């Protein structure tokens, strides 16, 4: 099994406004950089290979946390929120009404207009999981981590998550040769410098 440590990028202005960022290349804000700069990856993971989403907020996070020779992999890009990008869930519920609520109830099959579903994200990630050959740290996005969490727990996203993830922590998965995975340890605190 291959260890895979997943980390969500640091805070951006859109995170603070609760806007769906999707593929929009929003950088970290000053608060995000400051919070990250006081942390590093725990010692047990420092020899791992680093890989990142191509979006600036993920690449910045990897470098601030000590990533060297960080590889970029397009498959780690955030879920495509289509027409929903730039809006809050609250705004969408008010604007789209019952159709939004029905779409949300679809869990893994929830699909924003012109975007991709969490199930689509899983399909894009499966070949990436199979390609892993060494212990890896991946800096990516909430939608990507939730899609992998869904695979690990066989969670269809129609109800409450079986385990709560703290998005300021790292999460250790193990990837099997088949590409399936399990969560070894959730909510691993970063070390303070």
DSSP letter (8 states) at residue 85: T
Catalytic option among 78, 87, 116, 171: 78
What is residue 50's predicted lDDT score, i.e. its pLDDT? 98
Which residues have a Cβ under 8 Å from the Cβ of 154 and sit 6 or more positions away? Answer: none
Identify the burial level of 29 via C-beta atoms within 10 angstroms of its C-beta, where 0-12 means exposed, 13-18 middle and 19 or more buried: middle
87 is catalytic: no
Which structure tokens are listed for 173?
Answer: 């998965």
Domain carrying residue 138: 2-192
Cβ–Cβ under 8 Å, residues 146 and 117: no
What is residue 193's predicted lDDT score, i.e. its pLDDT? 84
Cβ–Cβ under 8 Å, residues 141 and 79: yes
Instruction: For residue 50, give the CATH number of its domain.
Output: 3.40.50.1240
Report the alpha-carbon distance of residue 17 to residue 146 in Å, rounded: 20
Give me the tens of pLDDT residue by residue for the chain, a chain 193 residues long. Answer: 999 999 999 999 999 999 999 999 999 999 999 999 999 999 999 999 999 999 999 999 999 999 999 999 999 999 999 999 999 999 999 999 999 999 999 999 999 999 999 999 999 999 999 999 999 999 999 999 999 999 999 999 999 999 999 999 999 999 999 999 999 999 999 999 8
Q: Please state the domain count of the chain.
A: 1
Catalytic option among 9, 87, 141, 171: 9
Report the alpha-carbon distance of residue 1 to residue 132 in Å, rounded: 10
Identify the burial level of 88 via C-beta atoms within 10 angstroms of its C-beta, where 0-12 means exposed, 13-18 middle and 19 or more buried: middle
78 is catalytic: yes
């Amino acid at each position: 099994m291959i260890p895979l440590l997943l980390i969500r990028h640091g805070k951006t202005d859109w995170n603070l406004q609760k806007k769906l960022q999707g593929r929009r290349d929003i950088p970290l804000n000053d608060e995000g950089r400051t919070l990250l700069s006081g942390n590093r990856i725990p010692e047990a993971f420092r020899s791992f290979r680093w890989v990142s989403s191509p979006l600036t907020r993920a690449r910045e996070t990897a470098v601030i946390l000590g990533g060297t020779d960080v590889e970029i992999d397009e498959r780690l890009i955030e879920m495509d929120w289509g027409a929903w990008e730039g809006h809050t869930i609250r705004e969408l519920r008010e604007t789209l009404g019952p159709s939004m609520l029905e779409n949300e109830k679809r869990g893994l099959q929830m699909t924003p207009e012109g975007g991709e579903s969490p199930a689509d994200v899983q399909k894009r990630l499966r070949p990436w999981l199979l390609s892993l050959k060494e212990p890896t740290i991946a800096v990516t996005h909430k939608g990507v981590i939730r899609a992998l969490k869904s695979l690990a727990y066989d969670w269809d996203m129609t109800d409450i998550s079986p385990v709560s993830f703290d998005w300021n922590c790292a999460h250790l998965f193990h990837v099997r040769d088949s590409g399936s995975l399990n969560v070894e340890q959730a909510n691993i605190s970063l070390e303070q410098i």
